[in-house]
Amino acid sequence: MARRLPVYLVLDTSGSMHGEPISAVETGVQTLVSALRQDPYALETAYLSVITFDSSAKQMVPLTELTAFQAPTFTASGTTALGDALRLVAQKIDSEVAKTTAEVKGDWKPLVFIMTDGEPTDHWQNGLAEFRKQKVGMTICCAAGQGADTNVLKQISEIVVQLDTADSATIKAFFKWVSASVSTSSQKVESGINLEKVGELPPPPPEVNIVV
């Protein structure tokens, strides 16, 4: 089997996402997957997992080959357990992503996209400590709207983007960029390159601002 590019989508489904934002996220995941299916690099290497978090985190879709992936439906309620999400994604990376040994052909380092619209309501630092133990190719944090704390996200990753509003057009633009980023990344890894810097990603659309 060829090396896989694992992609984790970690999505906030807390109560504040109710309504337009959550249905935009649902559509976003669907269009993301349809777009990636048209890309031969992604079609052959990308594996997707969806983790959602509200009062606790849950893996909605385990790491699945893009060709077999089916977008889940979401409901929004509860608080924002970002720490639990970080802990869960760390645990899943540990169990789902193969490391290279003499006997095993390892996967590419995973890509992690984290999207949240609010401030964490749990002890997120504990989750972050778990997350830091894992080898991740690139983590991209997205603050959806003005309610998210970009200072918290900056501690999770150097790469933080912010959406001015969490309306459907903006969320759609974000997912389009995620799709392009996964495409670029799956192309690069086939040439033997692991992405590490935001400059190696496609430029984000105007709705998606890089937080410096």
Instruction: Give how many residues touch other proteins by CB under 8 A.
Output: 38
Which position among 27, 37, 61, 149 is part of the footprint of other proteins (CB under 8 A)?
A: 37
Which is closer to other proteins, CB of 100 or CB of 125? 100
Which position among 56, 75, 94, 99 is part of the footprint of other proteins (CB under 8 A)?
A: 99
Q: How far is the CB of 201 from other proteins (least distance, A)?
A: 15
Give me the DSSP letters along 102-164.
Answer: SSS-PPPPPEEEEEESS---S-HHHHHHHHHTS--SEEEEEEESTTS-HHHHHHH-SEEEEES
Q: According to the binding rule CB under 8 A, does residue 54 interact with other proteins?
A: no
Are 51 and 8 in contact, with CB atoms under 8 Å apart? yes
Neighbours of 184 (CB within 10 A): 17
Q: Looking at residues 130 to 169 of the shown chain, list those that interact with other proteins (rule: CB under 8 A).
A: 135
Alpha-carbon dihedral sign for residues 12, 159, 126, 9: positive
Which position among 189, 198, 201, 208 is part of the footprint of other proteins (CB under 8 A)?
A: 189
Are 70 and 62 in contact, with CB atoms under 8 Å apart? no
Rounded to 10 deg, the angle between the 82-96 and 124-132 helix axes is 20
Q: How far is the CB of 84 from other proteins (least distance, A)?
A: 27
Which position among 19, 62, 106, 203 is part of the footprint of other proteins (CB under 8 A)?
A: 106
Q: Looking at residues 60 to 89 of the shown chain, list those that interact with other proteins (rule: CB under 8 A).
A: 67-70
3-state secondary structure of 25: helix
Which position among 187, 205, 209, 211 is part of the footprint of other proteins (CB under 8 A)?
A: 187
Q: How many residues does the chain have?
A: 212
Would you tell me which residues interact with other proteins (CB under 8 A)? 1-4, 30, 34, 37-41, 43-45, 67-70, 99-109, 135, 187-194
